[in-house]
Amino acid sequence: MIRATVLRALVLMAAFAAGLTPVTCLGENSNRLPTKATKELPPELLSLLRQKKMPKYSPIVVRVFKEEAELEVWKQDTTGLFQILKIYPICRWSGDLGPKLQEGDRQAPEGFYTITPELMNPNSNFYLAINVGYPNNFDKANKRDGSLLMIHGDCSSSGCYAMTDEQISEIYSLARDSFLGGRPSFQVQAYPFRLTPTNLARHRSSPNLAFWKMLKIGNDHFETTHLEPKVDVCNRLYVFDAQPPPNSPNPLVFNPTDKCPAFVVNPQIARRALEKQRTDELEYAQLLQDNVPAAPIYSGLDGGMNPAFLAQFPGRVTLSKVLPWGGPYFPQLPPIPWVDNDGSLTSKWFGTSFSKPTACDLARASFLSSALVGYRC
């Protein structure tokens, strides 16, 4: 009964998307599921599921990393924990590191997104597509806009995460099978890069640093427990694995733009995550003390591509077409190379303000405390 309901939802979505959605990432007219949307997983992947003791219809979590240009699919095994199933090299993503802010900025989203069956498009002009659900409650609370941002095929991106057709066929089928198993949704976690102390130290000059440290809290919850984090939004911030305080008579109610209610974090999750955060904080502080080279704030390129595809698709990663963070269209300028310790290369082109932290002294600020104060740091 559940599988029939999900299939009906996918069929209705195909008809709806074809009839009403502009052809940015979605596609052609059909009122039946095409063969590409119902095909079985390849034998090699089915064998891998058996090896890893992952039921075919168990839930999934998708994790995306821009800088590394990798997409991970995690799947729940027979113990109830999520384990890595497969890592897919991303063929193309557009924009730069940092969240999407507005329509037309070419940014691919960063954050935590919930995918339901109606966001699956089997009739995409880009073979198959999964709408990431941007803007979510966090994006809306922070007055960010945009639409039709996908994980799709065809290795072509304008704010999307583009895979090859073969890759999206597998990813789409894994998502479909998780719905057929009775799960009403799955989570996409989209990150600028793997949120290690080393990467955060390299990108310490970015105005997005506090946002990324907030995402790291959810990342740490997942990586230390292998459980999908429960995500809420209040006070225009992400909140992870919140539950009512002990003996609280009322359920938690979160309003994305209002003050956060009193809550506690599930202690079993918090304990593990805090241990990781403390270890990472010490490593981050040491990296700052060692004055590791800082990456440029802006790469000058329009997104990226996994090195695995560079020979197959030469010339697809171009110079940026817009100013960073949603500015007007950008004249053709060379990309900014990696900066040295004093940021001199960046300084020559854009001034010293672009090569140093812009709002607070991160060398003195606590790794965790700067995450908790959000955008003030």
The residue from 25, 91, 155, 160 that is catalytic is 160
Give me the residue label for tokens 């057709």: 165
Active-site residue (options: 152, 203, 234, 377) = 152
Q: How far apart are the first and last CA of the chain?
A: 50
User: In 10 A of CB 52, how many CB atoms?
Assistant: 14
- Spatial contact of 179 and 117, defined as CB atoms under 8 Å apart: yes
* Number of Cβ within a 10 Å radius of residue 233: 22
Q: Are 160 and 153 in contact (CB under 8 A)?
A: no
- Sheet with 92-93, edge to edge strand ranges: 92-93, 161-162, 150-152, 129-131, 120-121
- Contact status, residue 333 vs residue 319, Cβ threshold 8 Å: yes
Backbone phi and psi for residue 291, each to the nearest 5 degrees, phi listed first: 55, 50
How many degrees, rounded to 5, is the angle at CA 198 between CA 197 and CA 200?
65
Helix axes 165-180, 2-20, angle to 10 degrees: 130
Helix, strand, coil percent content, the chain, rounded in steps of 5: 35, 15, 50
Q: Catalytic residue at 152?
A: yes
The span from the CA of 323 to the CA of 114, in Å, is: 29
Per the annotation, the verdict on 25 as an active-site residue is no
Q: Contact 254/233 with Cβ under 8 angstroms?
A: yes
Annotated active-site positions, please? 152, 160
